[in-house]
Amino acid sequence: GEDVEQSLFLSVREGDSSVINCTYTDSSSTYLYWYKQEPGAGLQLLTYIFSNMDMKQDQRLTVLLNKKDKHLSLRIADTQTGDSAIYFCAEKGTGGSYIPTFGRGTSLIVHP
């Protein structure tokens, strides 16, 4: 079955770059997503990348996809305290009936 793995915690200093990594197993993944969840809130779609792309940039966010290694990363430039949240990686592919499958989430802690 499909599986998405993420490290559970990341701590960075304000102003530094953050890199959150994710690996997945479903080779038929069509779309790969990054969601942000703040405490007590729902999931906010940050960005997604189609599987035929290897990079996508959106302001402070850069998504890199290594399809050969099934590795996805999210880089946040100039990390701010407001970026502190849980970040979920997810994939959706034909192998899973187009059901988005999520990792356990990475808690990003930004300290001054």
Min dist CB 68 to other proteins, Å, is 22
Cβ atoms 39, 47 nearer than 8 A? no
Q: Residues 63, 101, 108, 110: which binds other proteins (CB under 8 A)?
A: 101
- In single-letter form, the type of residue at position 109 comes to I
Q: From CA 88, how far away is CA 23, in angstroms rounded?
A: 12
Cβ at position 55, least distance to other proteins in Å: 16
Pairing of strands 4-6, 9-13: unpaired
44 contacts other proteins (rule: CB under 8 A): yes
* Site membership for other proteins, residue 57 (CB under 8 A): no
CA–CA distance, 43 with 55 (Å, rounded to integer): 23
Nearer to other proteins, 1 or 112 (CB): 1
Structure tokens at 85: 């949240």
Q: Which residues bind other proteins (CB under 8 A)?
A: 30-31, 33, 35, 41-45, 48, 50, 88, 90, 92, 97-105
